[in-house]
Each structure stands twice: as C-alpha cells, then as structure tokens.
Structure 1
Amino acid sequence: MKHYINYLFLFFCLQFTSCAQQKQKKDSPIKKQDETLKIGADRVNLYLSILKNKNIAIVANQTSTITTLQRAEVSKNVMGSKSVTQHLVDYLHSYSTITVKKVFAPEHGFRGKADAGEVIVDGIDTKTNLPIISLYGKNKKPSSEQLKNIDYVVFDIQDVGVRFYTYISTLHYVMEACTEANIPVIILDRPNPNAHYIDGPVLSSKHKSFVGMHPVPVVYGMTIGEYGKMINGEKWLKNGIKCDLTVIPLENYTHNTEYKLPIKPSPNLPNQKSINLYPSLCFFEGTNVSAGRGTNKQFQIYGSPYLKNLNFSFTPQPNEGAKYPKHKEKLCFGENLEETEYLSSLQLKWLLKAYKQTSEKEKFFNPFFTKLAGTELLQKQIEDGLNEEKIRDSWKKELNSFKKIRTKYLLYK
C-alpha cells in the first residue's frame, strides 16, 4: 500500500511538471529558431544579379558573414556539399563580375574590437587590400567624394533592436548620403534578438543625438530592414528625401523567432544574456554605476563603490572593448543578473534600486542619461520617487502611437 501511494504521488508530480512546462511553453512569446531560417546575406539569388557589373561599397563589420553551400569531397572519391561561412566582403570581392571598391565601418570598427565611443580611423583591409572608411570618426556620414563612382551600397550589419545602439544611426546617414548622391541602397536583413517586444520612453526630438535619432521607443521591435523602410516612409532623412532602398528579406522568420547570434555584435555584448539585458542596463551608462564593462560579465552585472548594501562585488579592469572602464580598479558592489529570466519587457527595477541604495545621489546621474532615455522626464521621475508602474504609465500614449506607425513597415509577423 505504501509503495502504491508513493507511486501515485510520483505520478501526479510528473503530470503537474509536464502541465507547467506546457503552459510555460504556450505562454512564452519566443519560438525556437526554424532550422530553415535564412538571413538576407545568404539569399544570394535575390541580390547577386542586381550587383552584376557594378561598383559597390559595403557597410560592414565582424557580423557581416554569409553561409553558402560549396562542393566538397565528403568521403574518398565521393563529392557532396558543405556549408561554408565567410565574410560578406570576402565573398563579394571574389566575384569577377562585382567590383567592391571600399568598405564603410561603423562604431567598434570593421573587425569589431574598438571601445564604445572610441574614434575609428580609416585604413586598409589586410586581406583584400580594400580601403576601409570609418563612419565613427571625423565623419559619421559618407561624403560625396567617398561615394564617387559607386553604383550600389550594400548594408549588412547585425543590430540588436535598441534605440541607443548606434548601427541604426549609421544606417540613417548612409541612406541620406546615398540619396543625395543618387545611389541605391540594399539592406541584407538580419534577425533582431530583441524583436519580441516594444517598450521604453519614446525619444523627444530635442534630445536627438547619435545614440537616438528618431522618435521611437528604447526597444522598437523591428529588424534593421524594417527600420530602414520606416526611416524612408516617415521622411526622417534630411529635407524629407527618400532613399532608393531594397531590403533582401529573411526567410522563415517572425518577430518571435529565437535567434542566437553566432558572432557578438560588439565587444561588450558577448552573449545572449547580455543582449537581452542590454536595453534595461544601458541606462547605467548615464550614471555613476558600472554595467560591467571591464569584466567578463558585461551587461550582466551592475555595481558601484557607492552601493555597499548590495552583496555582489567586482573590480573593473581594462580589457578588450573597455580600455578605461568606469571605476577602474575600484571595488564595486551590486548585483549579478546572469540567472534572471529571459526578459520580454524593459526593466527599471535595477535602476530604481541603485538610485535608492546609492550613497551619492547628487552624483548619480550625468548628462548622458537624458540622451539615452531620450527625455528629461525619466530622471525627474526617478528623483521624485515614482515607482515603476507610474513611470510606465507615462509611456503608454506615445508607445501606442508608435505601434500604429510601426505596422506600416513590417515585413514579418
């Protein structure tokens, strides 16, 4: 009898666990990546013919890769095919009917190793001998001279779907410069790892900067191809001009498709967890709190010397992507967020907690915070002691307006 009762207990526990797992799977907005998902760059049949016998420039960084099938000997005397991944620049440069004239590099550089905000200089790619022109140095917009004798510009950079991540600002200036020079632009679309939600304050035009150029929320739920269509459609380019834009779309993709980036998009976003936490933790860049730069847990931890009531600690040290990290070689106290659940909303709780706990409230915010927030209201709300719910309520009207605008430019469900 005792064994029978134990058996029944085990049976019901297993049933409960199974139901809970099924409910969690049903409730989750994220769907497993379809094995047949194809990024724009891989859909060569849609753009190689356009570029045939053309002089092109490519806007690219370390994420600009392409996977193709090539014939290979799979076993002795037996031919088959294998997947080969290479850089898009190398791939197009090898085509005899396409002339790659130059590469434009965004923030962090062509190989993606520079610090955030570090000036990127022009150079020569050692592999192809192509000139590399920085779009994060003395000019963030290609000049007419730099676009001379170019027939097409190809844009292929992995974005993370957050307003203050500067690749969409680079896209804006590339589209604007190409329109002025009468050059068509082709965007090879890529998945947005934060496409499954829309959240945060909408940028006020008076706070426009390179970390926020358009009236969109912090997390806008669009791929970079869709975003380019919105730049065009909303006439955000100078004088309302419109770019001759072609988007090579993704195949077998929705905004709720899970996508694990094969290459980190910048030095301080090393993994999926950091990319998911980035929209929430990047606000700390405008405060005296470190978001983990100078550690191996960038955008997965936060802390400062002024949060001694918090248990977790770390000491920032110079490393790749952070030559001069905030609070260099100082003991910081804060929280480790590596084990947090996958986020489907922007979280303010860590920012509010840090402000409440800090011993240096008068030095907590710096002017960069308002640029990141896109509004001066968020800082005032935090200083006035508003809770997260009331702060969120203040976003709703503008968020709803944006969502209506966004639907006009969607390529995917």
Structure 2
Amino acid sequence: MVLFSVIGNAQSAAKNTIRVGADRMEVLIPLLKDKRVGLVVNQTSVLINGHTHLLDTLLAQGIRVVKVFAPEHGFRGVADAGEEVSDSKDIRTGIPIISIYGKNKKPSGDQLSDLDVVVFDIQDVGARFFTYISTMHYVMEACTENQKPFIVLDRPNPNDFIDGPVLEKEQRSFVGMHPIPVLHGLTVGELAKMINGEGWMACAPDTCHLTVVPLENWKHGDPYWLPVKPSPNLPNDQAIRLYPSLCFFEATNMSIGRGTYFPFQVIGYPDKKFGDFTFTPVSLEGFDKNPIQKDKVCYGEDLSGYPFEGGLTLRFFLSFYEKAGEDKAFFFSRPQWFDLLAGTKKLRWQIVKGMKEEEIRATWKEDLDKYKEMREKYLLY
C-alpha cells in the first residue's frame, strides 16, 4: 500500500501570490511539533514571503531541528559541481550538517536513528540530471528502510516542460536515476509521488510514508523566477532556461562559461572557427574554481540575450558540432558521460550519423507519450 498524503488544499489561497510549501507554516508546524526533525536543505530553502531560511524559521518556532543533510554544493550552495561536501556545523546555529554528497549519498540508519521525521525542501530546476532529485530519492529510500516519515515542501518547476529522451535503465546514475525525460515536467513533490507509486526505490515493494505540503497559486505552465540561485553556475533565469540544452556540452571540451559571471549563457573553445565572441574562463570563487579551458581565450557565441523561451533544444549542440569540422572527435572525448547525461547511447550515435534535430526528436515521441500518460497519475497542480 502506498502511504501518501497531501496536506492542505493547493488551490485554497485567495491571493495570487505564490506560496511555496515552506511558506505554509500553519500546515508544517503541526506536523513537526514535539518531534526530532532532520532537514534536507540548502541555500534555496527560503520562505518566499519572509526571505528567511527554513532552518532559522523552524528554530524560531520552537521546532527541535536535530541535524541538516546537505546535498551537492553544500548547505550554503558554494561548493563546485562534483566537489565533495564534508560534514560540518552551521556556524550560526551550531546544528550538525551531514554531507550526503560525495562518499555518502544516502543517510545511514545511524544518522536517522535520533530523528522522528525528515523534511526535504530544495528548489529543483526540472532537469533529470540536476542531482537534488537524486538526493531526494536516496533520502526517501533511507526513510523507508528505517521507517521514518518523509515530508516534501513543494516548490514550482522553473523549466516546466516535458522533453528529451527518456532514460534507459542501462544509463542509470546519480545524474539520472529515473526513467523520465531530460525535462520531466514535475515538481519535487510530484516526482516523490511518482518514485513511490512506480516502485523505483531499491526497497520496493515497500513505500515511503510520504507527505507533500503543496504550494499555492501556481499551476503547470505558469512561469516562475527563482529568488535564489539554485547552484553556483545557475545565477539567473537565462542560465536556468538554457541549462537543460547546454548541459550536454559538459561531456565535451567546449566551455559553457564556467569560470565566468555568465555560466550556461555562452559556448566557446580556444579556436577562432567557433565564433567572434570571446571570453576567458578563470578560477572564480562562488562559481567554479577550476573550469574547463581555464585561462584560455575561448571563441564562440554569447547566448545571454538570446530570446530563448525555454524547453530543450539540440540546435546549439548540433551547430557547434558542425563547426568543429574535422575536429568533431573532441565532442565525445567523454562518451560515457555524454550517454549518462542523455540517458541513452542513441543520441550520441544519432548526432554522429548526421541526423537533423527533427529526426532525432521523432525518435523520442513514443517514450514521451507513455511517460505523459504515467505522469498524469501524480499531478498536484
């Protein structure tokens, strides 16, 4: 039996101001009162209306927060992509911070033993390879195995589209744990429901005792602009919009602006044939300390003002692949990594064969149609 509940009516608020799950203290406090609480949070875990962090807000309300679990980029969101996050203590509150990125991606039974409930409140960007949803999966699994209730405080999806190849099980990894498209069109609360309902956890058929505190005054298709950057290299709305399409370049030797103040808004390489726009990646605290093509002048294209409305497109990747000419091989210098990001080996071979974007997209249709049908069961908005 799937244990799941939605607390509160997502459509009940009279005003049009979006209230994320963390804003709904009138719902959350009764769920946590007199309990020992663990939080899975980072820099995005702020109340939109109050601009305060969830941890500080709960402590001020007299909730007993015992520990914090930190995902990729850490509790404060400043660690580089892939950089191991260490255990520590929050300077302000003295509360222990347990890393669940690095060697330990899943809380242990011992780490959960002194908790009565775990709360997840992290802003996702709607892309399968954004690792916060993988962290959520592992925490759900740990809570299930240790019989701990799990609460998701829901937030909008700023890339609310359904597009891209659906992940094949052979390509399952921390940058893609579920058979969903690159753009999955779900909130984290809806995805948690799907993980539970589809039996995707290793402990299945056991299911998580899951509660979602839904957001208010947002529905699928509504735009959403994040108040806090979700990771060091997604500093603004344009970067977030372009991220799903440009992330494929991470498996190449091309720079997409890491080590600049406009990451995921430019594409370039140290060769003039790639374009007239120039930039030079450097070690940049708070963005990337060791970017690809560090200290080299890169030539390419500036997309910071590109009128891209969002979704997934291969136009950028196919264009630069073509510009590479005889040097195309370096585009797949890390073929395994590309396949993990794509969720399939097929996309790489389709590009090598010279297929057009519309031809490639046609091969996704059958899987996307099946996914959309499954998705309907888990929608809250």
Alignment of 1:130-145 (within 5 A): 130-145=95-110
Kept in 2: contact 1:304–1:333 (CA 8 A)? yes
Q: Does residue 63 in structure 1 map to residue 44 in structure 2?
A: yes
Tell me what 1:369 maps to.
338
Kept in 2: contact 1:307–1:354 (CA 8 A)? no
Kept in 2: contact 1:306–1:360 (CA 8 A)? no
Mapped to 1, the partners of 2:309 and 2:348 lie a distance apart of: 23
Alpha-carbon deviation of 1:321? 2.8
1:153-176 deviation digits (Å, cap 9, x = unpaired): 010001100000000000000000
The match for 2:30 among 42, 49, 63 is 49
Alpha-carbon deviation of 1:231? 0.5
Tell me which amino acid in the other structure corresponds to 1:57: G
Alpha-carbon deviation of 1:273? 0.4
1:116-141 deviation digits (Å, cap 9, x = unpaired): 00000000001110000001022000
Which 5+ residue runs of structure 1 have no aligned equivalent?
Answer: 1-33, 69-83
Which 5+ residue runs of structure 2 have no aligned equivalent?
Answer: 1-14
- Look up the SS of the partner of 1:238 in the other structure: coil
The match for 2:17 among 26, 36, 55 is 36
Alpha-carbon deviation of 1:305? 1.8
Kept in 2: contact 1:175–1:185 (CA 8 A)? yes
Q: Which runs of 4+ in 1 moved over 3 A?
A: none
Kept in 2: contact 1:104–1:132 (CA 8 A)? yes
Tell me what 2:134 maps to.
169
Q: Does residue 147 in structure 1 map to residue 112 in structure 2?
A: yes
Alpha-carbon deviation of 1:343? 2.6
- Look up the SS of the partner of 1:56 in the other structure: strand
Scaled by the length of structure 1, the TM-score of the pair is 0.86
Higher relative contact order, chain-length normalized (CA < 8 Å, sep 6+): 2
Q: Does residue 224 in structure 1 map to residue 181 in structure 2?
A: no
Tell me which amino acid in the other structure corresponds to 1:215: P
Tell me what 1:277 maps to.
242
Alpha-carbon deviation of 1:312? 1.3
Alpha-carbon deviation of 1:306? 4.0
Tell me what 2:91 maps to.
126
1:36-64 deviation digits (Å, cap 9, x = unpaired): 21110011111211111000000000010
Alpha-carbon deviation of 1:35? 4.2
1:356-399 deviation digits (Å, cap 9, x = unpaired): 11152122211211110010111101111111010101111101
Q: Does residue 288 in structure 1 map to residue 253 in structure 2?
A: yes
Query: Over the residues paired in the alignment, what is the CA RMSD in angstroms?
Result: 1.2
1:262-289 deviation digits (Å, cap 9, x = unpaired): 1000000000000000000000001111
Alpha-carbon deviation of 1:257? 1.4
The match for 2:292 among 310, 326, 330 is 326
Tell me what 1:339 maps to.
305
Tell me what 1:204 maps to.
168
Mapped to 2, the partners of 1:285 and 1:89 lie a distance apart of: 33
Tell me which amino acid in the other structure corresponds to 1:87: H
Q: Does residue 401 in structure 1 map to residue 379 in structure 2?
A: no
In structure 2, relative to structure 1, the CA distance for the partners of 1:306 and 1:373 (3 Å cut) is farther
Tell me what 2:9 maps to.
none
Tell me what 2:178 maps to.
214
- Look up the SS of the partner of 2:47 in the other structure: strand
Q: Does residue 94 in structure 1 map to residue 60 in structure 2?
A: yes
Scaled by the length of structure 2, the TM-score of the pair is 0.93
Alignment of 1:6-25 (within 5 A): none
Tell me what 1:115 maps to.
80
Kept in 2: contact 1:116–1:321 (CA 8 A)? no
How many correspondences in the alignment? 362
Mapped to 2, the partners of 1:38 and 1:62 lie a distance apart of: 18
1:146-202 deviation digits (Å, cap 9, x = unpaired): 00120000100011000000000000000000010100001000011011x210011
Alignment of 1:172-191 (within 5 A): 172-191=137-156
